[in-house]
Amino acid sequence: MAKRKPLIAGNWKMYKTGPQAAELTSRLKSLVPDIMDVDVMVAPPFTALEVVAGILKGSVIHLGGQDLFWEVEGAYTGEISAPMLEAAGCNYVIIGHSERRQYFGETNATVNRKIQAALPGGLIPVVCIGESEAERESNETFSVVQKQLEEGLEGITSDEIQKVTVAYEPVWAIGTGKTATTDQAQEVHQFIRGWMETAYGNSVANDVRILYGGSVKPENIGDLMTMADIDGALVGGASLDADSFAAIVRLSINAATD
Given a contact cutoff of 8 angstroms between Cβ atoms, the answer to whether 151 and 108 are in contact is yes
Given a contact cutoff of 8 angstroms between Cβ atoms, the answer to whether 95 and 125 are in contact is yes
What is the rounded CA–CA span in Å between residue 54 and residue 243?
21
Nearest to 81 by CA among 44, 121, 51, 47: 121
Q: What is the dihedral of CA 152, 117, 16, 52, to 10 degrees?
A: 130
Residue 231 DSSP label: -
Half-sphere exposure of 64 (CA within 13 A, CB side): 27
Report the relative pairing of strands 232-235 and 7-11 from DSSP bridges.
parallel
In what helix (H) or strand (E) does residue 134 lie, and over which residues does it extend? helix 133-137
Amino acid symbol at 78: G
What is the rounded CA–CA span in Å between residue 236 and residue 98?
12
What residues are annotated to the active site?
A: 97, 169
What is the rounded CA–CA span in Å between residue 161 and residue 113?
14
What is the rounded CA–CA span in Å between residue 143 and residue 141?
6
For 184-214, the three-class secondary structure string (H helix, E strand, C coil) is HHHHHHHHHHHHHHHHHCHHHHHHCCEEEEC
